[in-house]
Amino acid sequence: MNVYVLYHEYILLIVIGMARLLPITFFLPWFNSQVLGGMLAKNVITCFMLLGFLPLLSVQFPMAPAAPPMVIIVREAIIGLLCGICLSVPFWIALVVGEVIDNQRGATISSTMNPGIGVETSVFASFMNYFYGATFMLSGGMVTLCEAIKKVIKYFRWHNPFTLTKH
């Protein structure tokens, strides 16, 4: 096989894989810019995660439909958005609990009196979000996250239509 063709197949495989993983990492709290410092670190970690999933994706590549790559990329991005939202719900709940606690103790009263000097999130809400993120990561959360992504990759294959029935 021509090296040029093989190179383009792997680049397309990486782009399609990143289309699913980047929306997932976009929603998770420990991938935000305050924790990692920027998009470069987030993209590097996402690429390293993708390297673990390349064997699963490369098995699907020969069975890919004759659809244009952009259609497959959009489909993968939609799946990634849905997975990212589902995986982020517990952390959003922790953020809301922190907001409610700070609201009840009066910590956000400055934003009520003068909205120009108010803050977007309260101190305890940010703490709760970081605390639950750290607890999740320390209790093997990255392994759990990768196993969930692996199951999603196995269930939503490129050559299968969008159905929720077992194949």
- Region 71-91: mean pLDDT is 89
More confident residue, 62 or 131: 131
Helices within the chain (DSSP H only): 3-27, 33-36, 39-60, 69-105, 109-113, 123-138, 141-155
Task: Report pLDDT digits (tens) over 24-75.
Answer: 888 888 777 766 777 788 788 888 888 888 888 777 666 565 677 788 888 8
Q: What is the per-residue pLDDT for 63?
A: 58
Alpha carbons 33 and 26: distance in angstroms, whole number: 10
Position 87, amino acid: L
Q: Residue 119: pLDDT band by 50, 70, 90 thresholds?
A: low
pLDDT > 70: what percent of the chain?
A: 75
Asked whether the predicted pLDDT for residue 108 surpasses 70, the reply is no
Asked whether the predicted pLDDT for residue 163 surpasses 60, the reply is no
Kindly report the pTM of this predicted structure.
0.76
Q: What is the per-residue pLDDT for 29?
A: 80
Asked whether the predicted pLDDT for residue 159 surpasses 80, the reply is no
CB-CB contact of 135 with 142 (8 Å)? no
Residue 72: how many CB atoms within 10 A of its CB? 17
Give which of 159, 131, 149 is closest to 60, Cα–Cα: 159
When the pLDDT of each residue in the chain is averaged and rounded to a whole number, the result is 78
